[in-house]
Each structure stands twice: as C-alpha cells, then as structure tokens.
Structure 1
Amino acid sequence: MARITYQDIPNGMFEHLRTIEDFITGSSLNQQLIEIIRLRTSQKNGCAYCVDMHHKELKHLGETDLRLSSLCVWEDTPYFTEEERAVLYFTDALTKLNRKPIPDTIYNELLSFYTKEEICYITLTISQSNTWNRLMKTFEFTPGNYKADE
C-alpha cells in the first residue's frame, strides 16, 4: 500500500518531471542506453518499483535476459560494451556521491565515446532517475504492476 497515492501528489509535480523525461527521450542518446542507466540507478538505490519498471522497459526494447540479470554485477561480466561500461562507471559514481568531484578517469573515459552534449544528457538521465528513486522510496508505490507499452 502506497504511503502517498497519485491523488496525494501536488498537481503538476509529475507532469513537470515528465517534461524532463521527454527532454531526455528526445536527445541523441539511444533509448536502450537511457533505460540501462535508469535500471542501474534504481538497483544502486534499492528502488523496487523503478527496478521493476525499467527491467520491463528494457525487455520491451529487446534487451537479453543475460544482460538484465547481470547488470547488478556488470563490472564482472563481458556482456557490456566499452561505451556502456564508461556510462555504468559514471552512473555508479554519480548515484553514490562521496563528497568529492567525479574522478577525471571516469569523466575522461566518457569523453572517449560521447560528446560533451551527450554527457550532459547522460548526467541528467542519472540525476532524474535518482529523483524518481527517492520519490518512490518515500511514496512506496507497489512494484510489479507496471506494464511497458505494447
């Protein structure tokens, strides 16, 4: 049972957050990469509702079971490209902040594969996912009911 229901949420709150989602989706980033970022962020934050949602979205986009089940241990697997690995290192670092700047090694690895504009979108995707995770951890929406668009 949700602590805070859709009816309790201030008018416009989700709509404004969805505007940012549309901005991210309209970027040059691949939708599958966006969803991998969202799922990884949700795993790091322990957000069951968001893990369920982004797992289903990735399945809908054709992601393999092997990569989905291995994302939580991505560093120890060969299933992710170097580009994805650079994003996953950055996702992990930006999701679990340690009061220090993001290391140059992590940022420079991103620059090997992505433009500064794309890094801005990647950063916003991670930040937005963290926002949603924190909302869902507070609201306690029930996981399992999300349906990816058919």
Structure 2
Amino acid sequence: MHLRMNASKANPAAYQAMQKLDGTAKELIADNVIYELVKIRASQINGCAFCVDMHTTDLRAMGESERRLNLIVVWRESPQFTEKERAALALTEAVTLVSEGGVPQSVYDEARKHFDESEFVALLLAINAINGWNRIAIATGMFPDCFAK
C-alpha cells in the first residue's frame, strides 16, 4: 500500500472546507457516541480502512466496549445498541446507499421518533461528511498509519 497523495497538502482550502463541514456536524450532534457510530458504519459500508480505524479508535478512547465496536457491522443482529442508535445506524445505511433505494419512509419515521428536525438535519450533515471523507481517503490511497513517521 502506498499513499497516492496527501490531500490536505495538495489543496489546503478544500481540506479545510471538509473539516468545517465535519466540525459543524460534530458541534450540532449532542451525542458523541452516535456521531462516531455514524462515522464507523458509513466507513464500513464504503470500505474505508483509514476512517474505520480512526473512528473506532476515537470511540474506544471515549470508553466504548470492544464488544460493541465489533458488533457495529452487524448492529441489526445485536441487542447491544439503543433504539436511538439503531435509528441513526439505519439512516446512515440508507443515506450512504441512497442510490440503491433512497431513504425508505420507515427509516425516516424511526429516525424522527428519536431526532427532532434540527437533530435530523445535523445527522444528515454528519453522514454526508463521512461519505465525503471516505471518498477522499479511498481516492488518495489513505490507509491506517499512512501518515506515521
């Protein structure tokens, strides 16, 4: 594996724009665990090893159990997640895979049971941000520890 380019150095303004989008989403989502779950699940779907590694490390540092970290990929088959977390994960999957079936009404309705309009939009912002980061990381060849010296 090799890093194709360092996007932050190749175009600092573009990288800062992504950071601002992501930072805004993080500020607007009150639950840091849900924020990280969204990041991890979208990154798993998109196959972004760099982002999966980063966000599982972040969630682990927040005190998350290894058991829950291991079960994110199969959250539907695990009772380890709250109804609110499950709603966020379902929305993450639907938005990440939007071309395959849109966002079903049932997914929207379940998310709205747990998130008001403002929180719902913040969640969409976070999902969109991580999908953008995944695409930048994959296109530029980022992988875990690619920036380690």
Contact 1:89 1:106 (8 Å CA) reproduced: yes
> Who is 2:134 aligned against?
133
Give the fraction of aligned pairs with identical amino acids, expressed as a percent: 29
Q: Over aligned residue pairs, what C-alpha RMSD do you find?
A: 1.8
**Aligned pairs for 1:1-150 within 5 A:** 1-6=2-7, 9-98=10-99, 100-144=101-145
Higher helix share: 2
With over 3 angstroms needed to count, the CA separation of the structure-2 counterparts of 1:134 and 1:6, relative to structure 1, is closer
Question: What is the deviation of 1:31?
Answer: 1.3
Could you tell me which amino acid in structure 2 is paired with residue 139 of structure 1? T
Q: How many residues are paired up? A: 147
Q: Deviation per CA, 1:92-131, whole angstroms, max 9, x where unpaired?
A: 1111123543111100001111101100000110011000
TM-score by length of structure 2 reads 0.91
Query: What amino acid is the match of 2:144?
Result: P
Structure 2 residues not aligned, in runs of 5+ = none
Asked if the contact 2:7–2:15 (Cα under 8 Å) also holds between the matched residues in 1, the reply is no
Farther-moved stretch of structure 1 (80-89 vs 27-36) = 27-36
